[in-house]
Amino acid sequence: MDILFLGTGSAWRLPEYSCGCMICKKMNELDEERTRTSIQITTSRRILIDPGPDLLTHMNRYHMELPDLVLITHEHGDHCLGLDELLVFKRALKRNDWTPIPVYATEITWRIVEERFGYLIGSLVEKRLCQSGVTISVGDTEIIPFKTFHGPTAKGAVGYVIRQMNDDSVHCKSLIYTSDFAEIETVIPQMYGADVLVIQSHWLNEPVENRPFHMSLQTALSFVEKWKPTKEIFLVHISGGDQVLGDPQNNTVKKIQPKEPMKDPMSNAVYSVPLCQEDWDVLVKKISIDYSIPCRMTVPRDGDIFSI
Ligand SMILES: [Zn+2]
Ligand SMILES: [Zn+2]
């Protein structure tokens, strides 16, 4: 199973347009960028999760090929607005050589996606409904959606467990993709002991009021503890929304006050909010030790590839 991180940022990309906060400034200085979070998983099938508004950029950067299927986690723009870009794959083929790409989402999510992209159904994409807890089998791959809570504007939100089965049909390589969420509504047995967990670290610290219904690294650790992934934890959907000590931009809408900032459990010192990739690398390594994380935990860069 190959995992390609197409994008690792939140809905507004990082650095954000016109933002002068310390995180955006530092990233601009270092020429760092996180496009909207999206991922490609390759088993015997090429699976694209969340074709967001940066899809064309991702296609160009990573020389992407036609996906065998697409999974949409929820209807927010940063997770589905790139659907139109897939049309170039059809345009490059002879008239009768095209088969619409199966696109999976829940019925509630499809209702919204169809209002915007209904004209693509039947010609570019094939509308496929998925249901929490019901397995989709494609070749050697099983995909199991699970219901998540991401607030009232994404009522059909799901994450996906993806399992690539071995020839014995018992053992597998497995990955949990949570996407945007604040709570898990349906836990499925396949979530325990997966090889890989891809989870939001929208903020480092859980905010006083989690209104956009996202996941902080601070809270994500409780899911790590419950599900016990065995090989890799990847933190994505990085937003730059944490307040940074001394940042004059801390009073902007983007910045959210922490409830009780994360601390080193031994010294009780509050962790510094990371500004750039190197800061994330150092901090996440330290948190992994301080909180006895059972496997490697990292913040991938856009374009990082991992194989399990
Ligand atoms: Zn999002
Ligand atoms: Zn969202």
Residue 141 has pLDDT above 90, yes or no: yes
Residue 97 Cα to ligand 1 middle (Å): 34
Q: Is 118 a domain residue?
A: yes
Confidence of residue 170 (pLDDT cuts 50, 70, 90): confident
132 CA → ligand 2 middle, Å: 18
- Using CA atoms, how far apart are residues 179 and 11, in angstroms rounded to an integer? 12
Question: Whose atoms come closest to the Cα of 182: which ligand?
Answer: 2
Is 83 part of a structural domain of the chain?
A: yes
Tokens of 275: 């500004």
Distance 41 CA to ligand 1 centre (A): 18
The answer to whether 157 and 148 are in contact (CB under 8 A) is yes
- Distance, CA 202 to ligand 1 centroid (Å)? 9
Confidence of residue 186 (pLDDT cuts 50, 70, 90): confident
pLDDT at 70: 98
- Total structural domains within the chain: 1
Distance of CA 96 from the midpoint of ligand 1 (Å): 36
26 alpha carbon – ligand 1 mean position (Å): 23
| Span from the CA of 80 to the centroid of ligand 1 (angstroms) | 10
Give the Å distance between the CA of 33 and the centre of ligand 2: 20
pTM of the model: 0.97
> Three-state SS string across the chain, please?
CEEEEEECECCCCECCCCCCCHHHHHHHHHCCCECECEEEEECCCEEEECCCCCHHHHHHHHCCCCCCEEECCCCCHHHHCCHHHHHHHHHCCCHHHCCCEEEEECHHHHHHHHHHHHHHECCCEEEEECCCCCCEEECCEEEEEEEEECCCCCCCCEEEEEEEECCCCCCEEEEEECCCCCEECCCCHHHCCCCEEEEECCECCCECCCCCCCCEHHHHHHHHHHHCCCCEEEEECECCCECCCCCHHHHCCCCECECCCCECCCCCCECCCCCCHHHHHHHHHHHHHHCCCCCEEECCCCCCEEEC
Average pLDDT, the chain: 97
189 within domain boundaries: yes
Instruction: Report d(CA 293, CA 308) in Å as an integer.
Output: 19
Q: Which pLDDT score, from 0 to 100, does residue 21 have?
A: 98
For residue 76, the CA-to-ligand 2 centroid distance in Å is 5
265, 271 Cβ separation under 8 angstroms: no
Which residues are CB-neighbours of 177 under 8 A, at least 6 positions away? 39, 49, 73, 159, 160, 161, 162, 198
Ligand 1 centre and the CA of 216: distance in Å?
Answer: 13
**CA of residue 159 to ligand 1 center, whole Å:** 12
Nearest residue to 104 (alpha-carbon basis) of 127, 138, 80, 81: 127
And the tokens for 259? 């409830």
Position 211 pLDDT exceeds 90? no
* Predicted local confidence at residue 180, as pLDDT: 97
Domain assignment present for residue 175? The answer is yes
pLDDT digits (tens, 9 = 90+) for 220-260: 999 999 999 999 999 999 999 999 999 999 999 999 999 99
| Residue 11, domain member (yes or no) | yes
Percent of the chain scoring above 90 in pLDDT: 96
Name the strands in the sheet holding 125-129, side by side, starting at the edge strand that comes first in the sequence.
125-129, 101-105, 69-71, 46-49, 38-42, 2-7, 305-307
Residue 308 lies in a domain: no
Does the residue 297 lie in any domain?
A: yes
Give the Å distance between the CA of 150 and the centre of ligand 2.
7
| Ligand with an atom nearest the CA of residue 156 | 2
* Ligand 1 geometric centre to CA of 75 (Å): 9
Residue 133: CATH number of its domain = 3.60.15.10
Q: Which residue in this structure is represented by tokens 């009073």?
A: 251
Neighbours of ion ligand 2 (CB under 5 A): 76, 180
Confidence of residue 168 (pLDDT cuts 50, 70, 90): confident
State the ligand closest to the CA atom of 237: 1
Q: What percent of the chain has pLDDT over 70?
A: 100
Q: With bands split at pLDDT 50, 70 and 90, how would you rate the model's confidence at 167?
A: confident
Residue 33 within a domain: yes
Interval 4-32: pLDDT, tens: 999 999 999 999 999 999 999 999 999 99
Residue 180 CA, ligand 2 centroid: distance in Å: 5
The alpha carbon of 95 and the centre of ligand 2 are apart by a number of angstroms equal to 36
Task: Please check the confidence at residue 212 and state whether its pLDDT lies above 90.
Answer: no
**Number of the ligand closest to the Cα of 12:** 1
CA 184 from chain center: how many Å?
Answer: 15
Q: What is the pLDDT of residue 148?
A: 97
> Domain containing 94: what range?
2-303
